[in-house]
Amino acid sequence: MLNLGKKNVLGILIDAVDYEAAVSFVFECARQNRGAMISALAVHGVMTGVLDPEHKFRLNSFDLLVPDGQPVRWVMNWLYGTELRDRVYGPELMRRICERAAREGVSIYLYGSTKPVVTSLAESLTKTFPGITIAGSEPSVFRELNLDEKAALQQRIQLSGASIVFVGLGCPRQEIFTYELRGSLSAPVLAVGAAFPLLAGILSQAPPWMQRFGLEWLFRLIVEPRRLWRRYLYLNPAYLVLVTLQRLGLRHFSPQDRPPAKDAPVG
């Protein structure tokens, strides 16, 4: 188990952890009925915080931010010599947590995506991990929740008795959602994004060799060009330039920033 603490990557505090440490943290929180905010960040997730001071504040408030993308892992190794041997990929992290949850009788809650996706995900998890307890599941409403809706959602999740909550809303909506539910749930909340459609068998996954060489972004771009081309055309090169500036000491990225002005989750 490897946990070298938080490392500053462009002002975002990413945890230098492996799968074992991340899973152990989640189950420690679940056993203690302790709320915690966890997210798996690839380059896009990091850059959302770099470009938005308020979102940087949110991200750096998370208890655990794991290096979801290979380029994030490589940069942590380059900047800090962490010698991380693998990334902590959101869908794989969710799979490992569900496997252990089924084995140990720990219940989960699924929130996000569309009704067909979340329904298929629940069915897929039940087949893949016999005995898993899904305390509740519901799709996103794809709009900002008012205060009454937010309170009702918190109550539904809390009363379900779920020990672990998974949120799949896409970046950065899922991190905003998780941040704005902070302190209201006695369970760890994991923002895992594409894990929902991937584990549901609806979204194709990049071949292992593309994942290993950090080319998953290219696979996703080929699959969803109209939705993703702007993200990868601008953010990936910007990430490389800024990381190089940080490595050479030509630019300092502070993890400090201002808190968000509003507090209404987008569900």
Give the model's confidence band at 263: pLDDT under 50 very low, under 70 low, under 90 confident, else very high. Answer: low
Q: What is the pLDDT of residues 50-103, one digit of tens each?
A: 999 999 999 999 999 999 989 999 999 999 999 999 999 999 999 999 999 999
Output the pTM of the full model: 0.90
DSSP code for 235: I
CB atoms within 10 A of CB 96: 17
Task: Please choose, from the candidates 91, 92, 83, 82, the residue with its C-alpha nearest in 3D space to the C-alpha of residue 113.
Answer: 91
* CA gap 267, 265 in Å, rounded: 6
Report the chain's C-alpha Rg in angstroms.
Answer: 18
| Cβ pair 70, 85 in contact under 8 A | no
Q: CATH assignment of 3-199, given 1.10.3470, 3.40.50, 3.30.310, 3.40.30?
A: 3.40.50
Give the model's confidence band at 223: pLDDT under 50 very low, under 70 low, under 90 confident, else very high. Answer: low
Show me where the domains of the chain are located. Answer: 3-199
* CA gap 7, 9 in Å, rounded: 6
Mean pLDDT of 188-202: 91
